[in-house]
């Protein structure tokens, strides 16, 4: 099978469907990711989130997946297919590892959706992609993200002090990781 023929999978969990983004998701991506509260706790999400950014981001996903550089899933509710966030793996093929990244729209915080999605994506990374290691990080000002990492079995690996300059303020970056052998046990 050629890379062009590879289709990104859809993953079902108890309450969620993790599926490829569609261009019809763009307005909701812009609305949810455009919330200043989301941008404040992520390194890559801009604020303001301008028209066209969501479409460009969604359009980048198939090529990244086909080339084996990453996979991004829309997090949607199983019952309604309503978008509530995003989760993905940025893959480093040379070192057989990936960085887990995610965001959940503010109206949906505190319901365990991120943990549920992250457990499924880590399983996909180890079982389907054959990764050796998955790592992630969060700003120290966002301890809820760290709790997700702990709940999915990641181990604390350190803190890079004042590592990111976000909106004129230096943020500590807290690092977590899990090896396939740890995940299996």
Of the candidate ranges 34-38, 41-45, 91-95, 136-140, the one whose mean pLDDT is the lowest = 41-45
Of the candidate ranges 3-12, 116-125, 154-163, the one whose mean pLDDT is the lowest = 3-12
pLDDT at 44: 87
DSSP 131: -
pLDDT in tens, 125-181: 999 999 999 999 999 999 999 999 999 999 999 999 999 999 999 999 999 999 999
Residues whose CB falls within 8 Å of the CB of residue 77, separated by 6 or more in sequence, listed in order: 15, 16, 17, 84
CA distances from 145 to 22, 67, 71, 104 (A): 26, 29, 20, 10
Residues whose CB falls within 8 Å of the CB of residue 69, separated by 6 or more in sequence, listed in order: 90, 91, 93
Quick one: average pLDDT of 41-52? 92
The residue behind tokens 């943990």 is 115
């Amino acid at each position: 099978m050629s890379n062009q023929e590879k289709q990104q999978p859809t993953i079902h969990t108890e309450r969620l469907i993790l599926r490829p983004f569609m261009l019809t998701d763009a307005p909701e991506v812009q609305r949810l990711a455009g919330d200043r509260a989301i941008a404040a706790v992520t390194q890559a999400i801009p604020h303001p989130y301008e028209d066209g950014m969501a479409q460009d981001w969604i359009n980048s996903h198939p090529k990244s997946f086909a080339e084996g550089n990453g996979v991004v899933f829309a997090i949607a509710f199983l019952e309604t297919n309503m978008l509530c966030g995003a989760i993905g793996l940025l893959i480093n093929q040379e070192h057989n590892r990936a960085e887990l990244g995610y965001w959940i729209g503010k109206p949906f915080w505190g319901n365990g959706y991120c943990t549920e999605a992250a457990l499924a994506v880590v399983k996909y990374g180890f079982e389907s992609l054959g990764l050796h290691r998955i790592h992630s990080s969060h700003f120290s000002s966002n301890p809820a993200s760290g709790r997700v990492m702990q709940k999915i079995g990641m181990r604390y690996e350190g803190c890079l002090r004042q590592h990111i300059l976000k909106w004129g303020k230096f943020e500590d970056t807290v690092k977590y990781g899990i090896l396939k052998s740890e995940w299996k046990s």
